């Protein structure tokens, strides 16, 4: 078995095989994964860009367009695609990744899918750790695409340096409902499929909403895009680069606190198995004096 120090060295030397191996060790908590995480030399200057938004907004297509333009500039791109998980077999559903298939053989592109494994916020419990593994590699950008699950996608703001919210003109009726949740997390808005009817009116409405949430003289871009035609993609890259210059001072402590909280949460929950809980409860609930809160306190606290 390759030692942690050897893998770490290979990772820094730019070995894709070592990167894939390190991610597998961390994701599956194989032997030595804690030592591996502790030994990472993380490049904090690599921008992590969260791409979020409702189903059908074209998030995968937009990332595909970003990859095309950035690799044409010889940039190295890492993509983590968070996939919805079956609640029964915890398998990852990889259909959307087919849209990025043309980049699978590009040596400057690394794409990895992670299953949500029951997480409701669009992020796998292991996503933070996997992102840090990727930040130990020589990427120029790391994109994290979350599943479209609505307002609970606010979790992405605790992971990404820059959060891009992708919407489509048809979402116009839902914006008022969204603005108290997902609408609040965006650093950049992208109105994709903007060649559709009603796009200009929708964009004006988004701009009005954005002006109400802008703080500290920081302008929040609203970008009109048609990802399938590469329209608006250059503007998005420029907006991401601009935001990356200011995010260190404005969000660093918040981001680190969010990451630390989730890492602590993950460690504290080790050993808690839903399957074991169900088996225990099947016995306990047969008792006449069963009380769920006494059970939890006695068993786990």
pLDDT tens column, 81-134: 887 654 444 444 444 455 566 777 788 999 998 876 555 444 556 888 899 999
Is there a single domain that holds both residue 1 and residue 150?
no
* Distance separating alpha carbons of residues 207 and 190, to the nearest angstrom: 11
Tokens 């995480």 locate to 37
Is there a single domain that holds both residue 93 and residue 196?
yes
239-265 tens-digit pLDDT: 999 998 876 555 667 667 777 787 788
Is there a single domain that holds both residue 135 and residue 30?
no
Q: Where are the beta strands (DSSP E) in the chain?
A: 48-52, 77-83, 109-115, 141-145, 162-167, 188-191, 222-224
Is there a single domain that holds both residue 287 and residue 192?
no
In the chain, how many domains are there? Answer: 3
In Å, what is the CA distance from 16 to each residue of 21, 184, 215? 9, 36, 41
Is there a single domain that holds both residue 64 and residue 135?
yes
Predicted confidence at residue 229, as pLDDT, reads: 96
196-245 tens-digit pLDDT: 988 999 999 888 878 766 555 568 899 999 999 999 999 999 999 999 88
* Distance separating alpha carbons of residues 216 and 238, to the nearest angstrom: 20
Is there a single domain that holds both residue 37 and residue 48?
no
Is there a single domain that holds both residue 21 and residue 150?
no
Is there a single domain that holds both residue 211 and residue 291?
no
By mean pLDDT, which of 45-59, 83-97, 142-156, 169-183 is the weakest?
83-97
Contact in structure between 141 and 172 (CB atoms under 8 Å): no
Is there a single domain that holds both residue 128 and residue 237?
yes
Contact in structure between 125 and 82 (CB atoms under 8 Å): no
Phi then psi for residue 222, to 5 deg, are -120, 110
Is there a single domain that holds both residue 278 and residue 186?
no
Q: Is the pLDDT of residue 80 over 80?
A: yes
Is there a single domain that holds both residue 281 and residue 242?
no
Is there a single domain that holds both residue 100 and residue 235?
yes
CA proximity to 10, closest of 133, 94, 167: 133
User: Global pTM?
Assistant: 0.82
* Distance separating alpha carbons of residues 158 and 221, to the nearest angstrom: 20
- pLDDT band at residue 47 under the 50/70/90 scheme: very high
Q: Is the pLDDT of residue 180 over 70?
A: no
Residue-range definition of the domain harbouring residue 33 = 1-41
Query: Average pLDDT, stretch 287-294?
Result: 89
């Amino acid at each position: 078995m390759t030692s942690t120090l050897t893998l770490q060295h290979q990772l820094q030397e730019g070995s894709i095989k070592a990167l894939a191996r390190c991610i597998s060790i961390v994701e599956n908590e194989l032997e030595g994964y804690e030592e591996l995480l502790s030994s990472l030399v993380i490049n904090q200057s690599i921008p992590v860009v969260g791409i979020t938004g409702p189903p059908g907004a074209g998030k995968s297509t937009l990332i595909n367009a970003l990859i095309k333009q950035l690799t044409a500039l010889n940039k190295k791109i890492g993509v983590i695609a968070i996939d919805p998980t079956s609640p029964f077999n915890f398998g990852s559903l990889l259909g959307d990744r087919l849209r990025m298939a043309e980049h699978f053989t590009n040596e400057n592109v690394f794409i990895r899918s992670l299953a949500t494994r029951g997480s409701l916020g669009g992020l796998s419990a292991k996503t933070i750790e996997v992102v840090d593994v990727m930040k130990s590699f020589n990427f120029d950008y790391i994109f994290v695409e979350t599943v479209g699950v609505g307002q609970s996608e606010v979790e992405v703001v605790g992971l990404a340096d820059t959060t891009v919210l992708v919407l489509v003109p048809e979402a116009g009726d839902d914006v008022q409902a969204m603005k108290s949740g997902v609408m609040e997390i965006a650093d950049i808005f992208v109105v994709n499929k903007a060649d559709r009817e009603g796009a200009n009116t929708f964009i004006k409405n988004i701009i009005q909403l954005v002006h109400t949430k802008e703080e500290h003289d920081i302008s929040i871009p609203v970008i009109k895009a048609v990802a399938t035609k590469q329209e608006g993609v250059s503007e998005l890259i420029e907006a991401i680069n601009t935001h990356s210059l200011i995010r260190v001072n404005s969000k660093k402590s918040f981001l680190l606190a969010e990451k630390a909280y989730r890492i602590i949460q993950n460690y504290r929950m080790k050993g808690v198995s839903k399957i074991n809980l169900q088996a225990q409860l099947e016995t306990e609930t047969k008792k006449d004096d069963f009380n769920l809160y006494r059970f939890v306190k006695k068993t786990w606290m």
